């Protein structure tokens, strides 16, 4: 497949943008090669600068649950733009989106709109610290909560309890307030509470991990987090930036029937435009300025175009009562087909799936249940599989540690095509 225009576009970008990209994973560092530059997307398909077409399973890393450029979303955004792109003053549409979120997400009775998932998690942690008067937080190794300083903390070794900064520029003081536990390992959380309980403001977790590849919560893991935070007077934050409106209209908290104190949202609620949100009970959200003293603001927060795209996406979801069942069925077929392809080609791998998010892990057949078991996967095998898929017109995330997303624009026929190509791609590995 020829991608000369992408190659020269990347060369030009590298001269004026660090690494040639505006977000690191886009640079193909995890798989090698040159990133594809896209010209357009429609439904389940992408077209690159050279005119090559790809069946897309990245969906802009999650937001595009209805596929690329659904007419309802495009029309809503264009109509909003004609009325004015931003006023720096409240609009009724913001209340409408807030009301939808409150109606659908079990733990949210009041919500603040921001511009990204990063802003949502950063603000949620500030709120938890403001309410409890405590400074430490617990996060889980391999969970990603955006790029705010407090979250850029590596796991360290399994024995390490205090985080070390994962990036230059994050101070040791900040890192010292971020404690790292192991996903699906409640003992590691117990230990941190035993040591630092009275200083822990919150536990933040992806209720279904999506950023080490898809890792579902083990039975009892989320309820145990609920219990232990309650016992110690800490707040539980579910980072539902991926899972919100993805796994069900009420997110993972509805699917697993376990409600956090604070919920963060992003990706899908923006329908492909920049939106994030954090919400909780009225009692908690009344601490947020100007109702309360915990400051948080944004020039473009609740932007009319972004809110219009979010509302239009929610309308697409709501007009089909079987929306999530259909996504689940397509994703289940894809997962089962990938497993069969692996058996047929003699590749030892496992597929983790929850609803419309899944990951094929080249794990040599071992289960993947936390960050260490994810890190043990064969990244070289994934890189070869990725490129073999790309050359066959299937666009996957350029990293082993990401989710594949099925959208409502995918059809049974698309899944068949993807499975036929994946079998060829896996055949290149054996
Ligand atoms: C993507 C993501 C974020 C960050 O959202 P941005 O909009 O990229 O800032 C936070 N948390 C989770 C779970 C995410 O997947």
Q: What is the pLDDT of residue 430?
A: 78
Contact by Cβ (8 Å): 356, 405: yes
Instruction: Find all residues with CB under 8 Å of 148, minimum gap 6, and list them.
Output: 118, 121, 122, 125
Which residues carry out catalysis? 144, 239, 267
Ligand 1 pocket member 268 (CB < 6 A): no
Q: How far apart are the first and last CA of the chain?
A: 22
- Compute the distance from residue 242 Cα to the ligand 1 centre, in Å: 7
Map out the domains of the chain with their CATH numbers: 4-69+322-427 (3.90.1150.10), 71-318 (3.40.640.10)
Judged by average pLDDT, the poorest of 4-18, 91-105, 168-182, 311-325 is 168-182
Query: Which tokens is 317 given?
Result: 């979801």
User: What mean pLDDT is predicted for residues 321-342?
Assistant: 98
- Compute the distance from residue 413 Cα to the ligand 1 centre, in Å: 31
pTM: 0.97
Q: Which atom of ligand 1 is nearest to the CA of 240?
A: 13
Ligand 1 pocket member 121 (CB < 6 A): yes
- Compute the distance from residue 59 Cα to the ligand 1 centre, in Å: 14
Residue indicated by tokens 């309980």 = 197
- Compute the distance from residue 145 Cα to the ligand 1 centre, in Å: 5
- Alpha-carbon distance of 106 to 112, in angstroms, equals 16
Q: Which atom of ligand 1 is nearest to the CA of 116?
A: 7
User: What mean pLDDT is predicted for residues 294-309?
Assistant: 98
Q: What is the pLDDT of residue 165?
A: 76
Q: How confident is the model at residue 164 (pLDDT cuts 50, 70, 90)?
A: low
pLDDT at 158 exceeding the cut of 60: no
Ligand 1 pocket member 209 (CB < 6 A): no
User: What mean pLDDT is predicted for residues 160-180?
Assistant: 79
User: What mean pLDDT is predicted for residues 19-23?
Assistant: 95
Q: How confident is the model at residue 163 (pLDDT cuts 50, 70, 90)?
A: low
Q: How confident is the model at residue 226 (pLDDT cuts 50, 70, 90)?
A: very high
Q: What is the pLDDT of residue 159?
A: 37
Instruction: Find all residues with CB under 8 Å of 128, minimum gap 6, and list them.
Output: 137, 201, 202, 234, 235, 237, 261, 262
Q: What is the pLDDT of residue 166?
A: 76
- Compute the distance from residue 398 Cα to the ligand 1 centre, in Å: 17
- Alpha-carbon distance of 117 to 28, in angstroms, equals 22
- Alpha-carbon distance of 55 to 73, in angstroms, equals 20
Radius of gyration in angstroms for the set of CA atoms belonging to the chain, rounded to a whole number: 21
Ligand 1 pocket member 238 (CB < 6 A): no
Closest to 408 measured CA to CA, from 67, 71, 74? 67
Residue indicated by tokens 């398909």 = 45
Percentage of the chain surpassing pLDDT 90? 93
- Alpha-carbon distance of 291 to 295, in angstroms, equals 10
Task: Give the Å distances, CA to CA, from 427 to 126, 304, 349, 364.
Answer: 49, 48, 13, 16
Contact by Cβ (8 Å): 85, 305: yes
Q: Which atom of ligand 1 is nearest to the CA of 119?
A: 9
- Alpha-carbon distance of 21 to 45, in angstroms, equals 22
Task: Give the Å distances, CA to CA, from 122 to 103, 104, 193, 246, 274.
Answer: 24, 23, 22, 21, 16
Side-chain half-sphere of 112: how many Cα atoms within 13 Å? 29
Strand order in the sheet with 357-361: 350-354, 357-361, 404-405
For 157-188, the DSSP string reads STT--B-EESSTTS-HHHHHTEEEE-TT-HHH
Mean of pLDDT over the chain: 95
Number of CB atoms found within 10 A of residue 230's CB = 12
User: What mean pLDDT is predicted for residues 43-55?
Assistant: 98
Q: What is the pLDDT of residue 268?
A: 97
Q: Which atom of ligand 1 is nearest to the CA of 211?
A: 15
Query: Which tokens is 121 given?
Result: 């998690």
User: What mean pLDDT is predicted for residues 293-319?
Assistant: 97
Contact by Cβ (8 Å): 336, 419: no
Please give the backbone phi and psi of residue 200, each rounded to the nearest 5 degrees, phi first.
-95, 115
Q: How confident is the model at residue 172 (pLDDT cuts 50, 70, 90)?
A: confident
Beta bridge partners of 137: 178, 202
Please write the tens of the pLDDT for every residue from 71-87.
999 999 999 999 999 99
Ligand 1 pocket member 117 (CB < 6 A): yes
Query: Which tokens is 310 given?
Result: 């979010």
**Secondary structure of residue 294 in the 3-state scheme:** strand
Please write the tens of the pLDDT for every residue from 242-292.
999 999 999 999 999 999 999 999 999 999 999 999 999 999 999 999 999
- Compute the distance from residue 428 Cα to the ligand 1 centre, in Å: 33
Minimal-distance CA residue to ligand 1 atom 11: 145
Ligand 1 pocket member 93 (CB < 6 A): no
Ligand 1 pocket member 239 (CB < 6 A): yes
pLDDT at 56 exceeding the cut of 80: yes
Q: What is the pLDDT of residue 162?
A: 53
Minimal-distance CA residue to ligand 1 atom 14: 241
Q: What is the pLDDT of residue 370?
A: 97
219 burial class (0-12, 13-18, 19+ CB within 10 angstroms)? Answer: exposed
Please write the tens of the pLDDT for every residue from 354-381.
999 999 999 999 999 999 999 999 999 9
**Secondary structure of residue 142 in the 3-state scheme:** coil
- Alpha-carbon distance of 162 to 151, in angstroms, equals 13
């Amino acid at each position: 497949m020829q991608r000369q225009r992408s190659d020269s576009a990347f060369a030009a970008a590298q001269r004026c943008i660090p690494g040639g990209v505006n977000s690191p994973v886009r640079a193909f560092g995890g798989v090698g090669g040159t990133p594809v530059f896209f010209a357009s997307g429609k439904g389940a398909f992408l077209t690159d600068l050279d005119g090559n077409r790809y069946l897309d399973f990245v969906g802009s890393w999650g937001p595009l649950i209805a596929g690329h450029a659904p007419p309802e979303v495009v029309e809503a955004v264009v109509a909003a733009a004609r009325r004015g792109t931003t006023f720096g003053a409240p609009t009724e549409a913001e209340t409408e989106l807030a009301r939808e979120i409150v109606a659908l997400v079990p733990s949210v009775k009041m919500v603040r709109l921001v511009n990204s998932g990063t802003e949502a998690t950063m603000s949620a942690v500030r709120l938890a610290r403001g309410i409890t008067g405590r400074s430490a937080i617990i996060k889980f190794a391999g969970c990603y909560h955006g790029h705010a300083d407090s979250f850029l903390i590596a796991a360290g070794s399994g024995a390490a309890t205090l985080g070390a900064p994962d990036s230059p520029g994050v101070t040791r003081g900040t890192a010292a307030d971020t404690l790292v536990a192991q996903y699906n390992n409640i003992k590691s959380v117990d230990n941190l509470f035993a040591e630092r309980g009275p200083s822990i403001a919150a536990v933040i977790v992806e209720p279904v991990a999506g950023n080490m590849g898809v890792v579902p919560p083990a039975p009892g893991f989320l309820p145990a987090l609920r219990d232990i935070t309650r016992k110690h007077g800490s707040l539980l934050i579910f980072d539902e930036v991926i899972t919100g409106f993805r796994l069900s209209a009420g997110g993972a908290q509805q699917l697993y029937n376990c409600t956090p104190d604070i919920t963060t949202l992003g990706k899908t609620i923006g329908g492909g435009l920049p939106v994030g949100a954090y919400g909780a009970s009225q009692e908690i959200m009344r601490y947020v300025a100007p109702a309360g003293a915990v400051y948080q603001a944004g020039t473009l927060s609740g932007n009319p175009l972004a809110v219009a795209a979010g509302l239009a996406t929610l309308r697409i979801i709501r007009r089909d009562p079987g929306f999530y069942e259909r996504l689940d069925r397509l994703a289940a077929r894809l997962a089962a087909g990938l497993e069969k392809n692996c058996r047929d080609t003699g590749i030892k791998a496992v597929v983790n799936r929850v609803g419309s998010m899944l990951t094929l892990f080249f794990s040599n057949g071992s289960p993947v249940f936390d960050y260490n078991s994810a890190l043990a996967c064969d990244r070289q095998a994934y890189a070869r599989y990725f490129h073999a898929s790309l050359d066959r017109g299937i666009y996957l995330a350029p990293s082993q540690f990401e989710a594949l997303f099925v959208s409502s624009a995918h059809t049974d026929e698309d899944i068949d095509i993807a499975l036929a190509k994946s079998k060829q791609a896996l055949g290149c590995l054996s």
